[in-house]
Amino acid sequence: MSDVTRSMRFFYHYLKRYKISFLIITIGIIIGTYFQVKAPIFMGKAITALAKYVFGLMHGVDDKGNFVHFIWLLVIYFILGAVGTFISTIVVTYVTGNATNRMRRGLFAKLQRMTIRFFDSHQDGDVLSRFTSDLDNISNALNQALAQIMTNAAMMVGILIVMFQQNVKMAWVTIASAPVAILLAAFLIRQTRKYTDIQQDAVGSLNGYVNEQISGQKIIITNGLQQDSIDGFLPHNKEVKDATTTAQTYSGMLFPLMQGMSLVNTAIVIFFGSWLALNSGMGRAAALGLVVVFVQYSQQFYQPITQVSTLYSMFQLAVTGARRLNQMFDEPEETQPEQGLTIPDKLTGAALKDVRFSYNEGREILHGVSIDVEPGHMVALVGPTGSGKTTVMNLLNRFYDVDSGAVTIDDTDVRELGLKQLRDHVGIVLQDSVLFSGTIGFNIKYGRPEASDDEMIAAAKQANIHDFIMTLDDGYDTKVTDENAIFSTGQKQLISIARTILTNPSLLILDEATSNVDTVTESRIQKAMDTVVQGRTSFVIAHRLKTILNADKIVVLKDGNVIEQGTHQELLAAHGFYSELYHNQFVFE
């Protein structure tokens, strides 16, 4: 299916519910067009009456005939034409506002159903530009182009009918050059479409780059890489500029070319029309009227071709926008069984059974990993960077699905559980804790907004962050965006731990919760962790081995394989990889 067909389906999907509005728009357009195409007839009649009057005066006869009458009719027809167009424009604005609102809502809701694979493999800026630039383009096109395209199509049909009713030969003369104009327009339109597509994709990657550079600003400054950052920006910017210039050049050629064709056509109509009128035995006044009417028609007939050409670049941006939104809507969503199984409140354990997994086909990351956790036990995952620790965590929470083998919670394959069930039972504290805009209280209650303030405070106390929050002027009501309340990485992590405690998950995943913080905060986090893992089955990924000495089991991963497992003492006694890692780390600390 072509992009245009798919885009049309997209628009149909969002516009089909406005049938009554479209009926009103169509009626408005028909009324507007009818009066606009009929008006020139009265213009012709008024000119004929005027010419007769002038020729009469030359012969001493003072007869204005129906001149004034036709002028009045002309004015009334123009006013009624304008009213019809006005009504359709107002209704189009209403439809557009509502339809784009629904698109934005639909897109945002879709985003919430997307898989982590999508977020891992797409730049934030590119996703964002679909919400901004692509949706804006669609909204502009619907607002401005929709009514115009309908009006122009109606106008074209109306003018054709009226022209052939008035004079068949003159009608053929008037439309004779149209095929050439349409072929030229079609060529330019194709070129415009090609480059508009390239332009919008380039805008997406430019946004992605800018977004990435803003997030990494500190690293750029620290390494003095500002110039490199600019150098990296320039090719993206050039790509946008080149595609935009080419697209605009082609679409910019449309309007002058069509106007030129329209002028040439008017000249043909005047020349040929005069010749025809003079050689058909028609009276001078009637001939003059006929030529004036067809000059009007010739301009009116070309107007839709010219206008549609001008609107085309706008329309094209909308088609490209629809293509890019369609891409998002086509992205696979998180899947779950129709009748998801449930897990009992008290966990019996979790396990990975001979799990093989690859993010991308052909590059296996986990090569048959098996890990078993007893209920209420704490398992620590250790291993060199890139060994697959975070990947194991991703599979436990079903951010990704295994290629073979199984991840089970309470002996049930996670793929058979309802997603809500699963996520309700699993709590995660990530390495980079995220705070949402709002108050600290709002952030702690994020996973359980219905929790009472007492529960919130109890969770904060368990997470060792209550005392710090109380030092802030507004306590739990402190806004996260307040510049007096800028949180350190460790503090953010403690808030995140409090948030997790409040949701009371039975399976807990803590990802490197103690890296990147000072020793005081580290010991606070350590205490918070000790509290939070109590009575829960937990997986802890920690780089600092001293934080996991008490783990019930330590699993050592290397290159996607489990190479050792056991308690700290057992692994030390084995004098293997763990023991080496442990001793090396203490040399560094």
Ligand X SMILES: Nc1ncnc2c1ncn2[C@@H]1O[C@H](COP(=O)(O)OP(=O)(O)OP(=O)(O)O)[C@@H](O)[C@H]1O
Q: How far is the C-alpha of 89 from the C-alpha of 28, rounded, in Å?
A: 9
Which residues does 221 contact at the CB level (< 8 Å), separation at least 6? none
Instruction: Name which of 509 and 571 has its Cβ closer to ligand X.
Output: 509
553 close to 565: Cβ distance less than 8 angstroms: yes
DSSP state letters, 238-307:
HHHHHHHHHHHHHHHHHHHHHHHHHHHHHHHHHHHHHHHHHTTT--HHHHHHHHHHHHHHHHHHHHHHHH
- Among the listed residues 263, 295, 260, the one whose alpha carbon sits nearest the alpha carbon of residue 277: 295
Smallest gap from Cβ 120 to ligand X, in A, equals 4
Take residue 184 and report the two structure tokens written for it: 């030229």
Q: How far is the C-alpha of 351 from the C-alpha of 373, rounded, in Å?
A: 6
Stretch in the footprint of ligand X (CB under 6 A) among 253-261, 386-394, 480-488, 526-534: 386-394
Q: How far is the C-alpha of 4 from the C-alpha of 320, rounded, in Å?
A: 9
Smallest gap from Cβ 391 to ligand X, in A, equals 3
Instruction: Name which of 279 and 385 has its Cβ closer to ligand X.
Output: 385
The distance between the two most distant Cα atoms of the chain, rounded to a whole number of Å, is: 130
Smallest gap from Cβ 362 to ligand X, in A, equals 11
Smallest gap from Cβ 548 to ligand X, in A, equals 14
Q: Is residue 139 close enough to count as binding ligand X by CB under 6 A?
A: no
Which residues does 292 contact at the CB level (< 8 Å), separation at least 6? 40, 43, 44, 47
Smallest gap from Cβ 373 to ligand X, in A, equals 18
Smallest gap from Cβ 559 to ligand X, in A, equals 9
Instruction: Name which of 339 and 360 has its Cβ closer to ligand X.
Output: 360
Smallest gap from Cβ 313 to ligand X, in A, equals 38
What does DSSP say about strands 553-558 and 507-511: parallel, antiparallel, or unpaired?
unpaired
Instruction: Name which of 143 and 390 has its Cβ closer to ligand X.
Output: 390
Q: Is residue 386 close enough to count as binding ligand X by CB under 6 A?
A: yes
Stretch in the footprint of ligand X (CB under 6 A) among 95-103, 172-180, 282-290, 379-387: 379-387
Q: How far is the C-alpha of 553 from the C-alpha of 233, rounded, in Å?
A: 48
Q: Is residue 388 close enough to count as binding ligand X by CB under 6 A?
A: yes
E strand intervals along 308-434: 350-358, 364-373, 378-382, 404-409, 412-413, 426-429
Q: Return the residue of 151, 152, 307, 390 that touches ligand X, per CB under 6 A.
A: 390
Q: By 3-state DSSP, what share of the chain in percent is helix, strand and coil, each rounded to 5?
A: 70, 10, 20
Interface positions, 290-319, toward ligand X (CB under 6 A):
none
Label residue 316 exposed, middle or buried (CB < 10 Å: 0-12, 13-18, 19+).
buried
Instruction: Name which of 445 and 543 has its Cβ closer to ligand X.
Output: 543
Q: How far is the C-alpha of 396 from the C-alpha of 416, rounded, in Å?
A: 13
Instruction: Name which of 81 and 560 has its Cβ closer to ligand X.
Output: 560
Q: Is residue 443 close enough to count as binding ligand X by CB under 6 A?
A: no
Smallest gap from Cβ 418 to ligand X, in A, equals 25
Stretch in the footprint of ligand X (CB under 6 A) among 20-28, 49-57, 307-315, 387-395: 387-395
Smallest gap from Cβ 221 to ligand X, in A, equals 24
Q: Is residue 432 close enough to count as binding ligand X by CB under 6 A?
A: no
Q: Is residue 200 close enough to count as binding ligand X by CB under 6 A?
A: no
Smallest gap from Cβ 516 to ligand X, in A, equals 12
Stretch in the footprint of ligand X (CB under 6 A) among 157-165, 210-218, 380-388, 438-446: 380-388
173 close to 268: Cβ distance less than 8 angstroms: yes
Interface positions, 335-364, toward ligand X (CB under 6 A):
359-360
State which H helix or E strand residue 563 sits in: strand 561-566
Q: Is residue 570 close enough to count as binding ligand X by CB under 6 A?
A: no
Print the binding letters for residues 96-135 with ligand X: x by CB under 6 A, - otherwise: ------------------------x---------------
118 close to 330: Cβ distance less than 8 angstroms: no
Q: What are phi and psi of 266, to 5 degrees?
A: -60, -40
Query: Between the CA atoms of 224, 227, 228 and 231, what dihedral angle is there, to the nearest 10 degrees?
Result: 170
- Among the listed residues 569, 424, 414, the one whose alpha carbon sits nearest the alpha carbon of residue 500: 424
State which H helix or E strand residue 537 sits in: strand 537-541
Q: Is residue 391 close enough to count as binding ligand X by CB under 6 A?
A: yes
Residue 507's beta-bridge partner residues? 426, 537
Smallest gap from Cβ 229 to ligand X, in A, equals 24
Smallest gap from Cβ 407 to ligand X, in A, equals 14
Q: Return the residue of 88, 137, 213, 387 that touches ligand X, per CB under 6 A.
A: 387
Instruction: Name which of 240 and 556 has its Cβ closer to ligand X.
Output: 556
Size of the site for ligand X (CB under 6 A): 12
Instruction: Name which of 123 and 421 has its Cβ closer to ligand X.
Output: 123
Smallest gap from Cβ 585 to ligand X, in A, equals 14
Stretch in the footprint of ligand X (CB under 6 A) among 104-112, 239-247, 381-389, 437-445: 381-389
Q: Is residue 2 close enough to count as binding ligand X by CB under 6 A?
A: no
Q: Is residue 365 close enough to count as binding ligand X by CB under 6 A?
A: yes
Take residue 51 and report the two structure tokens written for it: 């010419």
Stretch in the footprint of ligand X (CB under 6 A) among 281-289, 385-393, 413-421, 442-450: 385-393
Take residue 148 and report the two structure tokens written for it: 């115009």
Q: Return the residue of 52, 193, 389, 492 that touches ligand X, per CB under 6 A.
A: 389
Instruction: Name which of 303 and 358 has its Cβ closer to ligand X.
Output: 358
Q: Return the residue of 112, 279, 339, 385 that touches ligand X, per CB under 6 A.
A: 385
Smallest gap from Cβ 381 to ligand X, in A, equals 8
Tell me which residues touch ligand X (CB under 6 A).
120, 359-360, 365, 383, 385-391
